[in-house]
Amino acid sequence: MDFLKRTKLLMAGLLAFGIVFGTSFAGGYAAAAAGGAGFGGTGADIAGGYLDEEDEDYEQDEKALYEEYASCGITRKNGSYYYKDKRIKVIKDCSPGYSVYRFDPKLKGTAGIKVARDEKGSIKRVSYMTRKEAERLIKRAGLKAD
């Protein structure tokens, strides 16, 4: 193998390692599971910060989030979210620069959704994830789906 090919392979490997390690180090997927993140519980953002249920503003923030989701067709019943009458297993709430992941407490949902936000934090669109995307997020969070 010539020097250029080896260098390209080495750089690709380092980049992949950096992305995987950076996401883990920053508290990406696994932080949500470690923090007990669920639809009715705490959540974790990509920076690894946990939402504190003891915080005075937590309840208000959650209520505002539920209302914002409801305006886009995402409803909540008995601690689980639904979108177009399908129980949601995982929500990936994406803002520029970070994402927050929410998992159904029992992973009984049949669908995963992505909530895309603009720079101001307003929801732009809601779309379904592929089954593989949802399974990958669940696996990376260290959770086991039934």
pLDDT digits (tens, 9 = 90+) for 24-49: 334 443 333 333 445 544 344 433 44
Structural domain contains residue 4: no
Give the pLDDT confidence score for residue 58 in this predicted structure.
Answer: 78
Structural domain contains residue 85: yes
Structural domain contains residue 7: no
Q: Is the pTM of this model over 0.75?
A: no
Structural domain contains residue 11: no
- Write the Ramachandran bin of 60: left for phi over 0, alpha for psi from -120 to 50, otherwise beta: alpha
Domain count, the chain: 1
Give the pLDDT confidence score for residue 122 in this predicted structure.
Answer: 93
CB 53 within 8 A of CB 47: no
Structural domain contains residue 66: yes
Q: Which domain holds residue 94?
A: 29-140
What gap in Å lies between CA 43 and CA 36, rounded to an integer?
A: 7
Give the phi and the psi of residue 83 in degrees, each rounded to 5.
Answer: -135, 120
Residues of the chain under the 70 pLDDT cut: 1-56, 145-146
Structural domain contains residue 59: yes
